[in-house]
Amino acid sequence: MKFNGFAYINTIGCQMNVYDSEKLLGILNSYGFESTNDLEKADIVVCNTCSIRHKAEEKAFSFLGRFAKIKKQKPHLITVMAGCVAQQEGKKAFERVPHLDIVLGTRAFARFGQHLEALKAGKRQIVDIEDSSMIYESEPDTSCFDETQVSRFVTIMQGCENFCTYCVVPYVRGAERSRSSEKIVEEITLLAKAGIKEITLLGQNVNSYGKKEGEISFPKLLEKINAIEGLKRIRFATSHPKDLSIDLIYAIKELVKVCNHLHLPVQSGSNTILKKMNRGYTRKIYKEKIALLKKECPQIALSTDIIVGFPSETRQDYEDTKSLLQDIEFDSIFAFAYSDRSSAPAAKFGDQIAEKEKKVRLNDLLGMQDLVTQKKNREQIGKIIDVLVEGKSLKKRDGFELSGKNMEQMMGRTESNKIVHFPSEHVRIGDIVSVKIENAYPHSLWGHPMERDTSGVR
């Protein structure tokens, strides 16, 4: 059954949701919908939702809520809630958004098409939050790629069984399951052939990749992807500190395309809080892993996630987090105020921290990290660093004026994921260029290229 019209997707949340939205769009395309960025033109609106924190969930409800009025003027408009909030709420979603047509859970994508058909046949308020042991598989649609497409996400595994006490992921994404290594390599080969230079492998805990299925290990998977022709860079997220293996450290060290960067969420620097979070490591163990990483890969860039204001977090616990950040000196951090999630165990813990105090701690922590990030950025001055060119930049800085007629301000990223701006006449998007860093700011580095296009040679 074919549809006619335009599809608009609003993606909230993490990188995995971005990947999932591409898959949803692929399904919509195969049913005759064309993609649009113009909400007014849309005949179907999908909100791919996130429930990791209260704010993201509210964003989804408020976006979808707007369509009550619009549907009165445009009754044929189809509205879909997909992803984590859909999985969490199920049919309860209709209590807040009665005009919703489809509630599509995180593991129901394979049945999206059949629900669209059922809707066309007259069915109303369709809910599908059934489990599925498989991750939805489809070939990437590379037909829409142009020379501006440099980087893509590829999900390699989904779900989590770590049950950190603050986290909804094990409940909304379900048990861990991995895609076959053949399928992953096939997909990335297709992407590389279509001109993609960098891929980020996604999973809630990539170190558990393939364990249940008896697949090759994650470091072995990296080895296979490293051999894909045309691909220049491999990133991955997220790694759980308790599962960080020596084999992975060696893979980062030895595989030339694997970026010298690791995102390793620590969440807290206090042993008491780490235990209450059920993280499975202590501050000492985490620091030992970082020391080993730094020994094997001295140039490694590190980033982390932090939660402040977890139930019962004392001022001293918070100070322990701060001192850990000062000791390790991460290149960047993502910090969040603890958000109570009713399906996660910590919601039932006593001693909730006042919102105001969480904000004070969050701002204080971010202020301290800004200084560390600036220091790390300044350490890059004078170095010659490989930059994967992502596009033109509009930023201007004194001392970096564009002189020649064809000179343009370009931007790209280092392996460590730092943004670099530089003027150039001849680099193209997707090239890797060596840039001499001359200036550093809190969020970017500035420099001049050393030579003409190196055509991706690292």
Nearer to ligand 5AD, 282 or 343 (CB): 343
CB 242 to ligand SF4: min, Å = 9
Nearer to ligand 5AD, 265 or 412 (CB): 265
Contact (CB, 8 A) for 11 and 21: yes
Q: How far apart are the first and last CA of the chain?
A: 49
| 338 contacts ligand 5AD (rule: CB under 6 A) | yes
| 361 contacts ligand 5AD (rule: CB under 6 A) | no
Binds ligand 5AD (CB under 6 A): choice among 225, 307, 365, 429: 307
- In the chain, the amino acid numbered 206 is V
Nearer to ligand 5AD, 237 or 411 (CB): 237
Contact (CB, 8 A) for 429 and 453: no
| 175 contacts ligand SF4 (rule: CB under 6 A) | no
Instruction: Name the percent of the chain in helix, strand, coil, to the closest 5.
Output: 35, 20, 40
Binds ligand 5AD (CB under 6 A): choice among 115, 197, 261, 341: 341
Helix (H) or strand (E) holding 287: helix 283-296
- In the chain, the amino acid numbered 334 is F
Query: Which two three-digit tokens encode residue 340?
Result: 């109570």
| Contact flags string 200-219 toward ligand SF4, x per CB under 6 A | ----xx--------------
Options 99-107, 247-255, 334-342, 394-402: segment touching ligand 5AD (CB under 6 A):
334-342
Rounded to 5 degrees, φ, ψ at 393 are -115, 150
Contact (CB, 8 A) for 261 and 299: no
Q: DSSP secondary-structure letter at 267?
A: B
| 152 contacts ligand SF4 (rule: CB under 6 A) | no
| 160 contacts ligand SF4 (rule: CB under 6 A) | yes
* 39 vs 6: CA distance, rounded Å: 9
Which residues of 293-383 form beta strands (DSSP E)?
A: 301-308, 332-337
Binds ligand SF4 (CB under 6 A): choice among 163, 288, 383, 426: 163
Interhelix angle 315-328/283-296, rounded to 10 degrees, is: 10
Options 240-248, 332-340, 372-380, 434-442: segment touching ligand 5AD (CB under 6 A):
332-340
Which residues of 97-156 form beta strands (DSSP E)?
A: 102-104, 126-128, 151-155
Contact (CB, 8 A) for 440 and 446: yes
Binds ligand SF4 (CB under 6 A): choice among 10, 162, 326, 454: 162
Nearer to ligand SF4, 157 or 196 (CB): 157
- In the chain, the amino acid numbered 441 is Y
* 172 vs 81: CA distance, rounded Å: 14
| 267 contacts ligand 5AD (rule: CB under 6 A) | yes
Q: DSSP secondary-structure letter at 251?
A: H
Nearer to ligand 5AD, 167 or 411 (CB): 167
Alpha helices in 255-282 (DSSP H): 271-277
Query: Which two three-digit tokens encode residue 417?
Result: 């994921």
Residue nearest to ligand 5AD (CB): 305
| Contact flags string 218-247 toward ligand SF4, x per CB under 6 A | ----------------------x-------
Q: Which does 162 bind (CB under 5 to 8 A by kind): ligand SF4, ligand 5AD, none?
A: ligand SF4
Nearer to ligand SF4, 19 or 94 (CB): 19
| 336 contacts ligand 5AD (rule: CB under 6 A) | yes
CB 454 to ligand SF4: min, Å = 37
Query: How many residues interact with ligand SF4 (rule CB under 6 A)?
Result: 10
Q: Residue numbers of the site for ligand SF4 (CB under 6 A)? A: 160, 162-164, 167, 169-170, 204-205, 240
